[in-house]
Amino acid sequence: MRTARFVDHCRNCGYKLWPSSVLASAAFKAWRAADPEPRARVSRFDLALPVEEGVEVDYEARAHELGIHIFPNSNWPFVICLGALFLGLAAIPFASEARIALAVIGGVTFLVGVVGWVWFEDVKMYEASAAGGEAEH
């Protein structure tokens, strides 16, 4: 038979364990105050003390163990999308001067984004191979 120690009635048979819930709550508070470190997060309805679990996960280390390649954070895809937006706006039948201006702005922004993402991020990511060493994969 397993039941919580500080509830009024047994969960299995309904036998009254404590004369009142006030007395059960006072007994629980006294029990928790006797050893506050492990019992601080316990409820009076718990059957056992909670087990400490590590909640931090290092996703980069875990991905490296599994052989998964994670790209570093980058803002260049947003620049590419902005360029694609202007290129898309250039496809709308506006006046020819506006379409040419939108196409030029979009094309330059798109190319800057692609070059920035491929050139700068690639150099940051593979510094060892850029310096003449072999990259570790």
As a whole-number percent, the residues of the chain with pLDDT over 90 amount to 30
Contact 4, 45 (CB under 8 A): yes
Contact (Cβ atoms closer than 8 angstroms) between residue 135 and residue 129: yes
Burial of 83 (0-12, 13-18, 19+ CB in 10 A): buried
Which structure tokens are listed for 60? Answer: 């980069």
- For residue 16, the model assigns a pLDDT of 77
- 129 pLDDT band, cuts 50/70/90, is low
- The residues spanned by each domain of the chain are 1-47, 71-130
pLDDT surpassing 70 at residue 128: no
